Amino acid sequence: MLDTNLPPVNGTLIWYYTICPRQAWLIARQMTPDENDDNVVLGRFLHEKAYNRDRHEVLVGNIKIDLVRGARGEVVIGEIKKSSHARESARLQLLYYLYVLKGYGLDLKGVLLFPLEKQREEIVLDAAGVEAVERAIAGVREVVAQPFPPSPVKIKWCRPCAYAEYCWA
């Protein structure tokens, strides 16, 4: 049976799940990482300050999205990341937002924004994207429903991870 104390799937959980399922489990249980970790601070700063003039944050259901201006002046869904290193995870997170909005009858485009690299990438939800999102949603549900977190596995994301001390001390 689904534990109703667990948060519903959201974009943040999709992002963490694709980086490291253990992180998704910890976040879902409100075991939040060190808020003063450099990566967490930088991510928060960029999210609060980057593209401030062109951004409007809105809450749709249980997801918070940034509306920004697209390259042709149209309104699109923006997702700001501090680096493009986890581009695939960022794509999936944004595809998830587009998927949820489609459920509300809103057919929008998205744009990934990497302000420190002055890069942007337009994202469109297609059939493959829907399939990937639905697979990720099922994966998140399965992981967070487990009574214990997945064991830590050394991956390239461990070094900058705010949970590194917790996992590897």
Which residues of the chain form contacts with ligand SF4 (CB under 6 A)? 20, 22-23, 152-153, 155, 157-158, 161, 163-164, 167
Contact predicate 51/115, CB 8 Å: yes
Decide whether 65 or 143 has the Cβ nearer to ligand SF4: 143
Shortest approach of ligand SF4 to residue 22 CB, angstroms?
4
Least gap, CB of 151 to ligand SF4 (angstroms): 8
| CB-neighbour burial class of residue 47 (10 A; exposed 0-12, middle 13-18, buried 19+) | middle
Q: Which is nearer to ligand SF4, 135 or 156 (CB)?
A: 156
Which is closer to ligand SF4, CB of 70 or CB of 150?
150
Q: Which is nearer to ligand SF4, 20 or 80 (CB)?
A: 20
Tell me the closest approach of the beta carbon of residue 139 to ligand SF4, in angstroms: 15
Provide the strand spans (E) within the chain.
Answer: 56-60, 63-69, 75-80, 110-114, 119-123
- b/e sequence 108-132, b meaning 16+ C-beta within 10 Å: bbbbbbbbeeeebeebebeeebeeb
